[in-house]
Amino acid sequence: MMKSLSLAHPGPHVFLLVINLETFKEDERNVVEQIQEYFGEEAFKYTLVLITGREQMSNREWMVLKHNGKFHDLVSYFRGQYHEINSKNETNQSHIKKLLQKIDEFIRQHDGQHYNNKTDSVSVTESRKEKKQQEENKSKVKEQEIERQERITWDTLETISAMEERTTQALFEPQNECLIPYVRQTKKTTYVHKEIIQQRKNARMLPFSVEENNTTQPGGSRWLVTVSLGLNFVLLLVFILQLITTERDLIMSYKNTMKQFSHTINSLQDSYTDLMIKKDQDNINSLSQKKMELETRLKDLTGVKDQLQTSFDSLNQKKLELENKVTSLIDELKEVYEQG
């Protein structure tokens, strides 16, 4: 394009910008930018818009097109200078004659002046440099934004990984700690029950008078049974209180962890939405894969939550069993006193 311009020394008097009405709606939107980039704004002064395909429209349609916003904006860059021609009647010399007359009139309006490439070469070069710099700046800003979003995404992933570790510790370690005393206490309670049963069997084997004397003295069978039942009752109450405290702490830890997890998920979804808008298709596919991995982790955490709920139910069941044992021991203690 620039080579052909150099051959038209000293410079063209008119640029003919051909616009086909059949394709006007689809193209010609960046024509102004191209002319400005290659020839500078000075070329607008020497441009005549040549419209072809006029025969495809009725007079009414042509009037509507002339008042169309896109058409008016395009022609306004060239000071409203345009000429329409019938492209089918190529052999009709009248159309060519009218076009040549329009060009002559156009040249007279500019007093025979022509476009000078040298006078506008500096502005064209500056325009190109400015456009190139703008594109580079946009590219850098886009890359920086993508890197920022990626850092946010990876930081969020690391936060979720750390939360998973804390959640695992909060879910399983306290549970093991509360079950170990329960197992020990269960073994101890079983041993005390066996000792009490053996003492009661021995008490039944003694004569009435001896048993009666032993019941009134410390160390007698009835006194020993009473003390054992009382100690067992106190131990069970202490264990139940410890169990309730452990459950409450575990529930609070679980709630706090789930709140942090929900907040992190919401932050990740916001970051993902922003990144979906600004990244290209390849980066979007990569982020979609990361989202699927996060959803998988979320499902795993949901499974852990279900396990925790099962543990809670099991602990409640064991607490009910302990309460039943305490009630049974109290009933046995009452029976012992009633028999005495």
CATH of the domain at 7: 3.40.50.300
182 pLDDT above the threshold of 60: no
Confidence of residue 223 (pLDDT cuts 50, 70, 90): low
123 domain-assigned: no
- Single residue among 115, 148, 164 that ends a domain in this structure: 115
Q: How far is 130 from 138, CA to CA, in rounded Å?
A: 12
285 with 227, same domain: the answer is: yes
pLDDT (mean) for 23-41: 71
317 with 209, same domain: the answer is: yes
Helices H, strands E: what count in the chain?
9, 3
- Which residue segment(s) compose the domain that 305 sits in? 137-339
71 with 142, same domain: the answer is: no
Percent of the chain with pLDDT over 90: 0
Rg of the chain in Å (alpha carbons) = 47
143 domain-assigned: yes
124 domain-assigned: no
- Name the DSSP letter for residue 23: S
What pLDDT digit, counting tens, does each position of 331-340 carry?
888 777 777 6
Q: What is the signed CA dihedral for 28, 33, 37, 41, rounded to 10 degrees?
A: 110
129 domain-assigned: no
287 domain-assigned: yes
282 domain-assigned: yes
pLDDT of residue 214: 45
222 with 329, same domain: the answer is: yes
Q: How far is 12 from 6, CA to CA, in rounded Å?
A: 10
234 with 320, same domain: the answer is: yes
47 with 156, same domain: the answer is: no
327 with 221, same domain: the answer is: yes
Q: Tokens 């370690």 correspond to what residue?
A: 173
153 with 297, same domain: the answer is: yes
130 domain-assigned: no
Q: Structural domain tally of the chain?
A: 2
301 with 200, same domain: the answer is: yes
106 with 152, same domain: the answer is: no
pLDDT (mean) for 104-112: 83
54 with 144, same domain: the answer is: no
What is the phi/psi pair of residue 16, to 5°? -100, 115
What is the phi/psi pair of residue 133, to 5°? -65, -40
* Most confident residue range from 67-76, 194-203, 235-244: 67-76
Confidence of residue 233 (pLDDT cuts 50, 70, 90): low
52 with 9, same domain: the answer is: yes
What pLDDT digit, counting tens, does each position of 296-310 carry?
888 888 888 888 888
168 pLDDT above the threshold of 70: no
Q: How far is 329 from 323, CA to CA, in rounded Å?
A: 10
121 domain-assigned: no
